[in-house]
């Protein structure tokens, strides 16, 4: 579970139960990620976490980076694509095409975030309901 707490005007902190936290704010706000940036980071991060062992074992290197960006609709109110580019050194790889196949397959089959985005997961919103008082009829 992720808990988000308001810490100031347009400033929030998301925390997990393992002691990690990240600042969330409006787009362009210093020192924080916007919600869309977090979505993009989740897609890129999931691809990296999923493929890290496969890539580093075959490349013999330690360098692995990802770049991702949100492609938004014309209205700017929805993300229609999140292209993710992984970068790593292929100089020690005998068969780069085979590595590409393995990495693509792993990310497509095991990356929870990108698989969820492909399926258009729902995000039901629950709001507080007014409390009934003792004088309210049942």
**What tokens appear for 29 in the block?**
């706000």
For 39-75, what is each residue's pLDDT tens digit?
999 999 999 999 999 999 999 999 999 999 999 999 9
pLDDT at 137 over 80: no
DSSP reduced 3-state for 12: strand
Q: What is the pTM of this model?
A: 0.87
**pLDDT at residue number 8:** 94
For 71-124, what is each residue's pLDDT tens digit?
999 998 999 999 999 999 999 999 999 999 999 999 999 999 999 999 988 999
CA distances in angstroms from 63 to 52, 55, 57, 92, listed in the order given: 10, 10, 12, 13
């Amino acid at each position: 579970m992720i808990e988000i707490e308001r810490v100031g005007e347009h400033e929030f902190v998301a925390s997990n139960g393992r002691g990690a936290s990240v600042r969330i704010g409006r787009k362009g706000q210093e020192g924080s990620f916007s919600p869309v940036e977090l979505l993009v980071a989740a897609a890129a991060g999931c691809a990296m976490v999923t493929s890290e062992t496969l890539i580093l074992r075959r490349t013999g290197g330690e360098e692995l980076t990802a770049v991702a960006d949100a492609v938004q609709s014309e209205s700017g109110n929805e993300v229609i694509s999140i292209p993710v580019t992984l970068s790593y050194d292929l100089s020690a790889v005998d068969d780069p095409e085979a590595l590409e196949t393995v990495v693509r397959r792993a990310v497509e089959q095991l990356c929870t975030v990108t698989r969820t985005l492909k399926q258009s997961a729902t995000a039901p919103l629950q709001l507080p309901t007014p409390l009934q008082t003792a004088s309210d009829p049942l």
